[in-house]
Structure 1
Amino acid sequence: MPPKLCKYALIALLTAILSIHLDLPKLNFLFNPNSVASAQTTDPRKAEADRLLEQGNQQYQISQFEAALQSWQQALIIYREIKNRLGEGQSLGNLGLAYLNLGDYPKAIEYQQQSLAIAREIKDRLGEGQSLGNLGLAYYSLGDYPRAIEYQQQILAIAREIKNRSGEGQSLGNLGLAYYSLGDYSKAIEYQQQSLAIAHEIKDRQGEGQSLGNLGVAYYFLGDYPKAIEYQQQRLAIAREIKDRQGEGQSLGNLGVAYYFLGDYPKAIEYQQQRLAIAREIKDRRGEGQSLGNLGVAYYFLGDYPKAIEYQQQSLAIAHEIKDRQGEGQSLGNLGVAYYFLGDYPKAIEYQQQRLAIAREIKNRQGEGQSLGNLGLAYYSLGDYPKAIEYQQQWLAIAREIKDRLGEGAALGNLGLAYLSLGDYPKAIEYLQQVLAIAREIKDRLSEGRSLGNLGLAYSSLGDYPKAIEYQQQHLAIAREIKDRLGEGQSLNNLGLALYKSGNLIAAEKTLYEAIKVKESLRDKRLSDTNKVSIFETQRVTYITLQQVLIAQNKVDAALEISERGRARAFVELLSSRLNKANSDMKSLSAPTVNEIKQIAKQQNSTLVQYSIIYDYFKVEGKLKSQESELYIWVIKPNGEVTFQRQDIKPLWQKQNTSLSALVDGVLRTIPVLSLSENICYC
Structure 2
Amino acid sequence: ILYHMGIVYTNLENYPQALAAYQQALSLSRTLGTRETEGDILAGMGKLYDTQNQSELAITFFKQSVNVREGIRKDLKVLPVEQQQSFTDTVAEDYRRLADLLTQQNRNLEALRVLDLLKVQELQDYLSNVRGDDNTVDGITELTEEQEILKGTQPIIDQAIALGQELSELETIPNHKRTQTQQQRIIQLRKNQAQLTKDFQNFLKSPEVEARLAKLRETTEAENLDLKKYAKRLQEQLQQLEQDAVILYPLVLDDRLELVLVTPYAPPIRRTVKVKQKDLERAIKNFRRLLANPARNARTPAEQLYDWLIKPIEADLAKANAKTIIYAPDGKLRYIPLGALYDGEQWLIERLRVNHITALSLTSLDNKPTPQLDVFAAAVTKAHTIPVGEDESRYFAPLSFTQPEVESLAETLPNTTTLIDKQFHGDTIYQMNDYSVVHLATHAVFKKTKQDSIILFGDGSHVTLTEVEEKWDLSNVDLVVLSACQTGLGGELGDGKEILGFGYLMQNAGADAAIASLWSVNDKGTQALMNKFYQVLKQGNVTKAEALRQAQIAFISSKVGSGFEHPYFWAPFILIGNGL
* TM-score normalised by structure 2 residue count: 0.26
Normalized against structure 1, the TM-score is what? 0.23
Mark the structure with the bigger radius of gyration: 1
